[in-house]
């Protein structure tokens, strides 16, 4: 018995239904965050189910490679199951292995019920057998030894299954970072990212708020970012919605805050944020007194919320416009340029685990990155700076690309910075036009 979209739509309002709809959207190349937001908006869910769904979606996507290996061990013909059954079993496997609060009997019962409804009682019985077989494995799927295969060329393949990373992507990390750093980065990518806030220093009571959050268990970031950045290990946001609503704080990844605080932005020089996205870095710099005059992006959908964000934070909004940085509407620019370029995103897999489900197109990204950086350098005047940023770990998108562009343009490297570990993999370089 086959199941179609109509039957999935008739499933009860549950975290599993949300996961199925989001997973379908990912197959259409919709980014995970957008897919989840749109799905949650389309369904009338309680706050508790929304929370459960968000947790399940990220857990299942983050652990999909590992769960597929486990399920193939249990079901030799798992690949022959209907796609919807495969996905529901992946979600159940992820919940049983990695969601400690979810009772196992409820996960099994509800998954079997959904599969029986969608594909018949026979498929439901097979699901029941497989999930109970998984429970009998107890803690074995949590150990690296479980993932060893005599066909592997080395032990790193077993580690990649444990870290839930595709073989090709994992080997890329190995080449770029060396085994020790690759293992550390990939294990970190499997964990939940730390919750982090950027406090608004322009709001009254900023210092008192900083102290109060630290008393509640938040910790200050290091360096200049620590003057207003705080994080909380374990991913718990601790009632921050009101702070965000009041403009006293913003959600911003710790790594993003740290890398943005590394270069020296000159306060008396106008800045153009050329790949502004949703405008998080624009707002952070405005809070610091940096004169961001222009904010542009190829997507106006991403940009359109920036004026509202500036209003929430009490900031004067820059001129916001849609533009392709490789073909900008100006022939020159008197100030500096921030260039947070599109990249493979391999440094932020914990926040964007859907990247693990795609082929990594390094060559396609580097071609665009080189065009953007070369164009930015052509636009600025002598003595002015271009700050280049990525959220990836590959040298071909970072150090090597910067040096290739420098060799072809009259500019010098002022400095380079990286973040790793729990702060994810971010890179920045400051180039000055000669």
**Residue 176 shares a structural domain with residue 270:** no
Residue 369 in this model has a pLDDT that exceeds 50 = yes
- Residue 352: burial class (beta carbons within 10 Å; 0-12, 13-18, 19+): buried
- Which pTM value belongs to this model? 0.90
The CATH number of the domain holding residue 230 is 3.30.70
Looking at residue 420, its pLDDT comes to 81
Structural domain that includes position 116: 5-142
Query: Is residue 2 predicted with pLDDT exceeding 90?
Result: no
Same domain, 23 and 155: no
Predicted confidence (pLDDT) per residue in 29-59, tens digit: 999 999 999 999 999 889 889 999 999 999 9
- Residue 256: band (very low, low, confident or very high) from pLDDT cuts 50, 70, 90: very high
Is residue 57 domain-shared with residue 13, that is, in the same domain? yes
**Are residue 160 and residue 136 in the same domain, yes or no?**
no
Query: What pLDDT score was predicted for residue 239?
Result: 67
Shared domain check, 332 and 199 = no
- The verdict on 115 and 264 lying in the same domain is no
212 and 324 share a domain?
Answer: no
Task: Give the model's pLDDT for residue 3.
Answer: 55
Residues 168 and 87 placed together within one structural domain of the fold: no
The H or E element containing residue 27 is: helix 15-27
Judgement on whether residues 99 and 149 belong to the same structural domain of the protein: no
CATH number at residue 124: 1.10.940.10
| pLDDT at residue 4, rounded to an integer | 57
Split into its structural domains, the chain has a count of: 4
Same domain, 277 and 395: yes
Q: Name the domain boundary from 219, 251, 283.
A: 251
Question: Residue range 124-153: average pLDDT?
Answer: 94
Mean pLDDT of 293-314: 95
pLDDT of residue 238: 53
Burial class (CB in 10 A: 0-12, 13-18, 19+), 80: exposed
User: Given a cut of 90, is residue 270 above it in pLDDT?
Assistant: yes
Same domain, 283 and 372: yes
Q: What is the mean pLDDT of the chain?
A: 92
The predicted structure's pLDDT at residue 331: 92
For the chain, what percent of residues have pLDDT higher than 90? 78
Per DSSP (E only), the strands in 349-425 are: 385-390, 411-419
Q: What share of the chain is helix, strand, coil (3-state, %, to 5)?
A: 50, 15, 35
Whether the predicted pLDDT of 125 surpasses 50: yes
Same domain flag for 226 and 151: no
Residue 234's pLDDT is 56
């Amino acid at each position: 018995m086959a199941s179609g979209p109509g039957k999935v739509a008739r499933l009860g309002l549950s975290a599993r239904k949300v996961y199925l709809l989001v997973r379908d959207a990912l197959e259409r190349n919709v980014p995970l965050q957008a897919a989840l937001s749109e799905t949650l908006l389309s369904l009338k869910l309680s706050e508790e189910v929304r929370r459960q769904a968000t947790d399940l979606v990220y857990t299942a996507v983050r652990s999909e490679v590992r769960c597929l290996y486990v399920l193939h061990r249990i079901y030799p013909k798992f690949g022959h199951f209907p796609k919807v059954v495969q996905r529901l079993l992946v979600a159940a496997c992820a919940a049983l292995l990695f969601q400690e609060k979810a009772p196992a009997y409820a996960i099994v019962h509800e998954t079997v019920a959904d599969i029986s409804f969608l594909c018949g009682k026979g498929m439901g019985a097979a699901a029941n057998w497989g999930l109970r077989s998984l429970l009998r494995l107890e803690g074995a799927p949590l150990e690296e030894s479980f993932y060893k295969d005599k066909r592997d060329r080395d032990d790193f393949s077993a580690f990649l299954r444990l870290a839930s990373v595709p073989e090709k992507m994992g080997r890329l990390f190995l080449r770029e970072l060396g085994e020790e750093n690759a293992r550390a980065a990939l294990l970190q990518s499997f964990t939940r990212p730390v919750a982090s806030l950027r406090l608004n220093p322009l709001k009254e009571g900023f210092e008192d708020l900083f102290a109060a959050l630290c008393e509640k268990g938040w910790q200050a970031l290091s360096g200049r970012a620590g003057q207003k950045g705080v994080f909380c290990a374990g991913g718990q946001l601790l009632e921050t919605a009101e702070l965000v609503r009041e403009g006293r704080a913003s959600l911003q990844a710790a790594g993003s805050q740290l890398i943005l605080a590394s270069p020296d932005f000159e306060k008396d020089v106008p800045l153009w944020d050329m790949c502004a996205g949703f405008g998080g870095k624009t707002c952070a710099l405005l809070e610091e007194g940096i004169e961001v005059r222009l904010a542009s992006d190829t997507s106006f959908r991403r940009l359109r919320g920036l004026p509202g964000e500036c209003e929430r934070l009490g900031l004067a909004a820059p001129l916001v416009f849609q533009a392709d940085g490789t073909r900008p509407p100006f022939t020159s620019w008197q100030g500096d340029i921030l260039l947070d370029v599109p990249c493979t995103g391999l440094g932020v897999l914990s926040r964007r685990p859907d990247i693990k489900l795609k082929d990594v197109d390094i060559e396609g990204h580097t071609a665009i990155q080189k065009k953007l950086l070369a164009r930015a350098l052509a636009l600025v005047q002598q003595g002015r700076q271009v700050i280049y940023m990525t959220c990836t770990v590959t040298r071909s998108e970072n150090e090597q690309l910067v040096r290739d562009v420098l060799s072809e343009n009259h500019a010098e490297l002022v400095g380079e910075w990286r973040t790793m570990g729990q702060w994810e993999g971010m890179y920045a370089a400051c180039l000055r036009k000669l």
